[in-house]
């Protein structure tokens, strides 16, 4: 009985810091209805807020325990509450656009109900699965090390015998699972899969919650959210205990919120996006790459846009988001350097940037490129996400208004750069290429596919909203020069003023 209650309580407590952050940034109210609608993003934010603090606790040598976990939760909540009180009441976002017809209402409710039902019923399938492959040699091994020892035990986290278990991977997932086990009063590795499935549901909920605001039509983004739980790569990787789905969830939802900031200029979106990108960076090396790509691209978009707003207003939210990412990963990078730990699958830059080294391995690049193209081109697995995303993004860049052109370019560059980063790893890696591709190509591709999926939902719903706004008030239609990207009146927002 304690195990069941402990599992529920541990996951419920993680909602509190995330909900307080949403309140502090003006994205939710501490009222029943508003809080209930924000449970999904609050849970994902709570993980991304609390686990990096626990990671720092382990690094500086403070013992991990049930009592320390509760103290960390209380301290994080108190800090966010203090910041929220200082900021005062922030203006709320407008809600979703009204459902206009009965068929649309039926479609929306049926779609939401089926998506929720699939996640709920699917959870029953993930609590009795065996521990195997990477889950056994990396994530569950480290989870048990933290649970039984309460610190970064030398043999498990620095010992030469465990080099194949990727000693360089950050600790978010082992910390999450070991903390849940402490509340349960014992370990149960079968629940690792259920934890990943809950996190994936929270990711879908976060996307829906973020896009439901700002007057967007639910029917415009719902198909992209509804397809998430039925994608076979998501189901397969959760079943295997691979954390790549969690990396994808953090990375894609973080990219979405950063893009919303670039669109509407609301600083809260940048702050929340930074927290989620920090969660990605603290989960796995691929998450760090995704976080850096998104953060750098956001900076480029802000700098390229011609505005007269003060630099503090333009870059302040970006700096806060970058700070969350840095806090999530820098302590771990310092700890690894102190213990001479690095990624043994890829040589250092001194080797990988050598022209002779690269030219001797062009066969690996060719094999990796074709394998990743096979992933992108398998429409039976990813249900036409890639071609739909490419078509919508390119169309927005070519014919969209200036604001949406930059956002579409941001998403397209993020997906392509992450794709390129995987090519680089396979090209320069030391593992036998076929083995490397067979064990990593499919699961790591989830991240750029999820970025494409949320981009598709965002661009489509924004296009529908702008089209309806133009039809409703033709007098507000911008002149052709503005649509082509000429100078427009400036504002304090990081993007052009809303139309």
For the chain (length 499 residues), average pLDDT per consecutive 10?
A: 92 96 90 89 97 96 96 96 81 62 78 84 81 90 94 87 84 97 94 93 93 80 85 90 95 97 91 97 96 97 81 88 96 94 86 90 94 88 89 91 89 96 95 93 94 94 80 53 42 43
pLDDT at 97: 58
Contact (CB, 8 A) for 241 and 229: no
Q: Give the three-state DSSP class for 159.
A: coil
Q: Residue 216 has which token pair? A: 């967007």
| pTM for the whole structure | 0.91
Query: Helix, strand, coil shares of the chain as percentages rounded to 5?
Result: 75, 0, 25
Q: Residue 233 has which token pair? A: 């790569």
User: How far apart are the C-alpha atoms of 463 and 401, rounded to whole Å?
Assistant: 10
Q: Give the three-state DSSP class for 421.
A: helix
Tell me the Cα Rg of the chain: 22
Measure Cα distances from 336 to 331, 332, 339 in Å. Answer: 9, 6, 5
Of 186, 193, 295, 176, which Cα lies nearest the Cα of 236? 193
User: How far apart are the C-alpha atoms of 492 and 495, rounded to whole Å?
Assistant: 8
Q: How many residues does the chain have?
A: 499
User: How far apart are the C-alpha atoms of 46 and 276, rounded to whole Å?
Assistant: 9
Residue burial 229-252, b: 16+ Cβ < 10 Å; e: rest? bebebbbebbbbbbbbbbbbbbbb
Q: What residues contact 77, with CB distance under 8 A and at least 6 apart? A: 16, 17, 20
CA 13 to chain centroid? 20
Give the DSSP per-residue string, 364-400.
HHHHHHHHHHHHHH-HHHHTTHHHHHHHHHHHHHHHS
Contact (CB, 8 A) for 228 and 203: yes
């Amino acid at each position: 009985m304690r195990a069941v209650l402990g599992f529920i309580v541990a996951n419920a407590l993680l909602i509190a810091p995330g909900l307080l952050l949403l309140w502090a940034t003006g994205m939710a109210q501490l009222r029943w209805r508003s809080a209930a609608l924000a449970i999904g993003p609050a849970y994902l934010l709570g993980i991304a807020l609390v686990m990096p603090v626990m990671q720092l606790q382990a690094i500086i040598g403070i013992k991990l325990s049930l009592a320390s976990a509760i103290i960390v939760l209380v301290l994080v909540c108190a800090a966010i509450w203090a910041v929220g009180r200082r900021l005062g009441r922030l203006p709320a976002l407008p809600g979703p656009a009204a459902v206009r017809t009965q068929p649309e209402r039926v479609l929306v409710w049926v779609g939401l109900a089926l998506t929720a039902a699939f996640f709920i019923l699917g959870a029953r399938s993930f609590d009795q699965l065996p521990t195997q492959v990477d889950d056994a040699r990396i994530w569950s091994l480290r989870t048990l090390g933290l649970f039984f020892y309460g610190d970064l035990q030398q043999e498990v986290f620095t010992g030469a015998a465990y080099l194949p278990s990727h000693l360089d991977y950050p600790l978010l997932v082992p910390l999450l699972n070991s903390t849940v086990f402490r509340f349960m009063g014992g370990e149960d590795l079968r629940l690792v899969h259920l934890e990943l499935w809950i996190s994936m549901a929270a990711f879908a909920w976060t996307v829906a919650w973020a896009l439901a605001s700002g007057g967007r039509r639910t029917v415009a983004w719902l198909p992209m959210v509804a397809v998430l739980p039925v994608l076979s790569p998501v189901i397969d990787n959760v079943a295997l205990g691979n954390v790549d789905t969690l990396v994808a969830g953090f990375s894609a939802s973080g990219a979405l919120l950063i893009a919303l900031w670039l669109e509407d200029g609301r600083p809260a979106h940048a702050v929340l996006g930074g927290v989620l990108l920090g969660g990605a960076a603290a989960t796995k090396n691929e998450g760090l790459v995704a976080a850096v790509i998104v953060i750098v691209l956001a900076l480029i978009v802000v700098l390229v846009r011609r505005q007269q707003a003060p630099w503090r207003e333009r870059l302040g939210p970006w700096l806060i988001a970058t700070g969350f990412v840095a806090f999530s990963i820098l302590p771990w990078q310092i700890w690894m350097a102190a213990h001479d730990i690095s990624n043994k699958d890829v040589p250092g830059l001194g080797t990988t940037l050598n022209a002779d080294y690269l030219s001797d391995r062009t066969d690996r690049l060719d094999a990796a490129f074709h394998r990743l193209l096979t992933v992108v081109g398998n429409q039976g697995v990813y249900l036409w996400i890639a071609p739909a995303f490419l078509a919508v993004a390119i169309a927005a860049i070519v014919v969209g208004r200036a604001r949406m052109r930059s956002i579409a370019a941001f998403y397209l560059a993020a997906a392509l750069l992450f794709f390129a980063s995987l090519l680089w790893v396979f090209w320069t890696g030391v593992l036998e290429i076929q083995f490397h591709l067979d064990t990593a190509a499919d699961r790591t591709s989830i991240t750029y596919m999820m970025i494409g999926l949320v981009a598709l939902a965002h661009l489509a719903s924004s296009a529908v909203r702008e089209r309806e706004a133009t039809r409703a008030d033709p007098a507000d239609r911008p002149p052709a020069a503005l649509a082509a990207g000429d100078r427009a009146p400036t504002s304090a927002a990081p993007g052009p003023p809303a139309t």
